[in-house]
């Protein structure tokens, strides 16, 4: 958009009438007929140059969050929680709104050995980023996805899913859903269902290597979401070979895609993994979508508009849209790996996507 500061040249009016400028009796008459004058609110609704944003840069340290989540495991049995989750709520929106950004919901979920989170499906799309523990699994439409650190598991809109845990220690994962948007549209609901029997999975193994896909891809599987589990071992290997292949590339980043279409893995939120080379600093340009950073390996110094914090392992942060982010890998010896989620697919579909 072209911005013009000079209001004289554009013929734009300097200041608009206020609500208080109108007689109370007139305002009452408007209200009685469910009417409102636009001009007192016009500038707030369409601010100059940069949108108003409630989303605040917020950082959740795993070290301090984890004991509270484990405490929830003592205080609330799974039967009383169904999903035992502490929501990472952005204070800018109000903690009670339970949203990280306009479209993103984040939650840390705990499943203890032997527990089950029963089958349901819902309209919001979800993904799980596994943070800690082994032996848990998510069944998605009959496909059993094992949960190990860094694995990404999709449970797209409308697909049955349940979680179980056959291991010995607590398992914790990060839930990323588009609940705030789907709720705002008055389309958020869930349905309970019976346990699903696991069928032989194919996604993760069938599509594990870039450049070659199963020949049946060209006949199309008929599934809207052919790949549901994205093991971290494969994503990590892809990042390392990308970094090796393109030593001059600044952003060593991969996008989680639907391997049959090459498009975003889900419809509303986008998911990515970023590698910072040893000692690397990287500036992420300001773009319209809000974004989430979750440190999978290593430590990253982050600066967002002068607000500085460190992402230690398993820490999570959210950054509002239209905001640049400076990242620096603290290690001079090892790469750092960050999982990212953002609102890009939504912004692109709506035609509001922008890089500044
Ligand atoms: O695991 O199905 O954090 O339905 C919120 C809603 C997790 C889940 C959340 C859910 C789930």
DSSP class of 263: S
Q: What is the mean pLDDT of residues 272-276?
A: 98
Q: What is the mean pLDDT of residues 271-292?
A: 98
Residue 50 above 80 pLDDT?
yes
Q: Each residue of 71-115: pLDDT tens digit?
A: 999 999 999 999 999 999 999 999 999 999 999 999 999 999 999
Closest CA to 138 of 111, 169, 107, 157: 111
Residue whose Cα lies nearest atom 10 of ligand 1: it is: 83
| Phi, psi for 109 (deg, rounded to 5) | -110, 140
Atom of ligand 1 nearest to the CA of 107: 3
Return d(Cα 264, Cα 262) in angstroms, integer. Answer: 7
Neighbours of 256 (CB within 10 A): 21
Residue 204 above 50 pLDDT?
yes
> What is the SS3 assignment for 127-165?
EEEEEECCCEEEEECCEEEEECCCCEEEECCCCCEEEEE
Return d(Cα 128, Cα 90) in angstroms, integer. Answer: 19
Mean pLDDT of the chain: 94
Q: Which of 85, 89, 179, 192 to mutate to test the pocket of ligand 1 (most atoms within 8 A of CB)?
A: 85
Residue 6 above 60 pLDDT?
no
Query: What's the pLDDT at 217?
Result: 63
Residue partners of 185: CB distance under 8 A and separation at least 6: none
Residue 4 above 70 pLDDT?
no
Q: Is the CB of 156 under 6 A from ligand 1?
A: no
Q: What is the mean pLDDT of residues 58-63?
A: 98
Atom of ligand 1 nearest to the CA of 85: 3
Return d(Cα 331, Cα 334) in angstroms, integer. Answer: 6
What is this structure's pTM? 0.94
Query: What's the pLDDT at 9?
Result: 59
Q: What is the mean pLDDT of residues 16-32?
A: 97
Return d(Cα 138, Cα 175) in angstroms, integer. Answer: 12
Q: How far, in Å, is the centroid of ligand 1 from the Cα of 130? A: 14
Share of the chain above pLDDT 90, in %: 85
Query: What's the pLDDT at 3?
Result: 45
Residue 7 above 70 pLDDT?
no
Q: Each residue of 123-154: pLDDT tens digit?
A: 999 999 999 999 999 999 999 999 999 999 99
Q: Is the CB of 138 under 6 A from ligand 1?
A: no
Q: Is the CB of 175 under 6 A from ligand 1?
A: yes
Q: How far, in Å, is the centroid of ligand 1 from the Cα of 50? A: 33
Structural domains of the chain sorted by starting position, each given as residue range(s) with its CATH number in brackets: 2-45 (no CATH), 58-350 (2.60.120.10)
* Cβ pair 289, 353 in contact under 8 A: yes
243: which 2 tokens?
Answer: 């970094």
Return d(Cα 286, Cα 319) in angstroms, integer. Answer: 10
pLDDT bracket for residue 63 (50, 70, 90): very high
């Amino acid at each position: 958009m072209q911005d013009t500061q000079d209001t004289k040249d554009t013929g734009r009016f300097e200041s608009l009438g206020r609500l208080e400028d109108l007689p109370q009796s007139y305002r009452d008459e408007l209200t009685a007929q469910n009417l409102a004058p636009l001009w007192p609110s016009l500038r707030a609704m369409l601010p100059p140059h940069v949108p108003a944003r409630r989303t605040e840069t917020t950082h959740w340290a795993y070290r301090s969050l984890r004991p509270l989540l484990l405490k929830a495991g003592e205080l609330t049995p799974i039967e009383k929680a169904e999903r035992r989750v502490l929501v990472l709520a952005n204070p800018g929106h109000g903690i009670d709104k339970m949203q990280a950004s306009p479209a993103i919901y984040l939650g840390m979920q705990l499943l203890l050995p032997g527990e089950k989170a029963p089958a349901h499906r819902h309209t919001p799309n979800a993904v799980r980023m596994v943070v800690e523990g082994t032996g848990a699994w998510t069944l998605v439409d009959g496909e059993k996805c094992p949960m190990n650190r860094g694995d990404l598991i999709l449970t797209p809109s409308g697909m049955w899913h349940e979680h179980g845990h056959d291991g010995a220690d607590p398992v914790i994962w990060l839930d990323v859903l588009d609940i705030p948007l789907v709720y705002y549209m008055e389309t958020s609901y869930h349905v309970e269902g019976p346990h699903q029997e696991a069928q032989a999975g194919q996604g993760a193994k069938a599509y594990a290597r870039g450049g070659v896909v199963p020949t049946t891809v060209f006949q199309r599987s008929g599934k809207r979401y052919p790949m549901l589990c994205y093991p971290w071992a494969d994503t990590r290997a892809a990042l390392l070979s990308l970094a090796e292949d393109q030593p001059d590339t600044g952003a060593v980043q991969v996008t989680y895609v639907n391997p049959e279409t090459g498009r975003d893995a889900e419809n509303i939120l986008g998911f990515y993994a970023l590698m910072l080379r040893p000692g690397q600093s990287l500036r992420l340009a300001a773009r319209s979508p809000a974004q989430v950073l979750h440190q999978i390996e290593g430590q990253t110094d982050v600066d967002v508009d002068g607000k500085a914090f460190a992402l230690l392992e398993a820490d999570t942060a959210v950054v509002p849209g239209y905001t640049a982010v400076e990242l620096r890998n603290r290690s001079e010896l090892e790469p750092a790996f960050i999982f990212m989620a953002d609102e890009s697919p939504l912004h692109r579909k709506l035609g509001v996507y922008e890089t500044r």
